[in-house]
Amino acid sequence: MGTRKNPGRHSFMGAAIGDDGLDRCAHLRADSAGISRLLAAEDAGVLAFWHGRPLVAAKGGAPRLARLAPDHRLFAGCDEAPIFLGVSHDGPVFARQVPDGADAGVPPPAGGPFDDGRYPHPAAPEGHRFVDLRHVMGEMDGEEGALAATGRALLAWHRGHGHCSRCGAVSRVVEAGWQRLCPSCGTRHFPRTDPVVIMLVTSGNSVLLGRSAGWPDGMVSLLAGFVEPGETIENAVRREVMEETGVRIGAVGYLASQPWPFPASLMIGCKAQALSRAITLDPVELESAFWISREELLDVLAGTRSDIVLARRGSIARFLLRGWLAQHPV
């Protein structure tokens, strides 16, 4: 038992925005014997997740996902086989949930979207911690971020979809963890991804920011919302901005995307041209919304303003805002 080698390649572009570089090897998922050989390979590694948090090797520098041996003691008593995530630059990678019984006597993480704790576990290798993914994705390169996001999303889906939604029977894991098959009615179930639009809404020299109740003091971000059934991305952008702020939107374009596995979202970054500036706030959706100029935004990023805190590093919101400033310097 022990950890598997991870060279730790990091670019600090972060959070798997754009091309993540991971070879998911979807053509291998139906080959049970082939997956078993990959798992047994010397360079294979298994990512451990506990209460939705990946195990991170924190021995200086950027955080690295820990690659464990398939028989590591953290997985003792685990009933499900590891999920095959793909082949990374240093070997095949799988993901596995630390079984509930393994945390006996261990206080669970506090939880919540702003929990930035690093939680030890007596069965984990020395110096390793289970960390909320939101706080480390921005420091990972695209491939590491993709592995973490994929593993978390798939494991969360399996934990919440153990029964067939058609007949109610217990389903079983197939296709190396990428499907569930109902043995009773034969229905195949696939992991879901929920599209979410996040909007860089601009008007001249200003960009529109909003704040949700319950966020840390001063924290703001770009507006965002789920795409509804039968709706285009463009219409979702216009609808969400109108519903939350009353601002009318004209032209809409695509900028970038980011997986956000909390639990299974795909953030679709769009640029949107405002046709109006007057804000009529929906207090159910937002606590506040306002326009901020490029000059003011630069002050925020430079740390010379303490009243406004932007979305965390590595988030697509910060990525889009920085891109806007870079394309339109003051």
Q: What is the pLDDT of residues 154-188, one digit of tens each?
A: 999 999 999 999 999 999 999 999 999 999 999 99
What is the pLDDT at residue 6? 37
Same domain, 148 and 184: no
For β-strands 118-119 and 67-68, DSSP reports them as: unpaired
58: domain range? Answer: 3-160
The pLDDT of residue 116 is above 80:
no
Poorest-pLDDT segment among 9-18, 79-88, 186-195:
9-18
Question: What residues contact residue 106 under an 8 Å CB cut-off, 6+ apart?
Answer: 121, 122
User: For residue 191, how many other CB atoms are within 10 A of its CB?
Assistant: 16
Q: pTM for this one?
A: 0.86
In this structure, the answer to whether residues 226 and 281 fall within a common structural domain is yes
Grade residue 1 by pLDDT with cuts at 50, 70 and 90: very low
**pLDDT given for residue 14 in this prediction:** 43
Using the predicted structure, report yes or no on whether residue 117 has a pLDDT greater than 60. yes
Question: Quick one: pLDDT band at residue 109, thresholds 50, 70, 90?
Answer: low
Alpha carbons 7 and 62: distance in angstroms, whole number: 12
At 222, list the tokens: 């770009």
Per-residue model confidence (pLDDT) at position 148: 93
Phi and psi for 7 in degrees, rounded to 5? -60, -25
184 shares its domain with 152:
no
Q: Summarize pLDDT for 6-21 with one digit per residue, the tens.
A: 333 323 234 456 566 7
- Based on the fold, state whether residues 200 and 115 are members of the same structural domain: no
CA 270 to CA 237: how far, in whole Å?
A: 8
In this structure, are residues 67 and 2 in contact, taking their beta carbons and an 8 Å threshold? no
Residues 119-137, mean pLDDT to the nearest whole number: 87
Number of domains in the chain: 3
Residues 127, 79, single domain; the answer is: yes
Contact predicate 158/263, CB 8 Å: no
- Contacts of range 105-114, beta carbons closer than 8 Å, 24 or more positions apart: 108/51, 109/50, 109/51, 109/53, 111/51, 113/262, 114/215, 114/216
Mean pLDDT of 138-153: 88
Q: In a 3-state reduction of DSSP, which class is residue 273?
A: strand
Query: What percentage of the chain reaches a pLDDT higher than 90?
Result: 70
Residue 169 and residue 216 in one domain: no
pLDDT tens, position by position, 255-313: 999 999 988 999 999 999 999 999 999 999 999 999 999 999 999 999 899 899 998 88
The lowest-confidence range among 38-42, 112-116, 301-305 is: 112-116
pLDDT of residue 272: 98
Are residues 135 and 21 part of one domain? yes
Structure tokens belonging to residue 7: 């060279």
Note the pLDDT of residue 140.
82
pLDDT surpasses 60 at 2: no
Q: Are 13 and 141 in the same domain?
A: yes
Contacts of 324 (CB under 8 A, 6+ apart): 200, 202, 207
- What's the rounded Cα separation, in Å, for the pair 98 and 78? 7
d(CA 86, CA 325) in angstroms, rounded, equals: 36
What is the CATH number for 254? 3.90.79.10
One domain, residues 87 and 232: no
For tokens 């406004």, name the residue. 308
Q: Is the pLDDT of residue 107 over 80?
A: no
Q: Which of 176, 191, 206 is the last residue of a domain?
A: 191
Residue in the structure block whose two tokens are 């901020």: 292
Give the pLDDT of residue 147. 93
Residue 286 has a pLDDT of 96
CA–CA gap between residue 252 and residue 267 (Å, rounded): 15
Both 36 and 122 in one domain: the answer is yes
Task: Check whether residue 85 and residue 186 sit in a common domain.
Answer: no
Backbone phi, psi, residue 262, to 5°: -130, 65
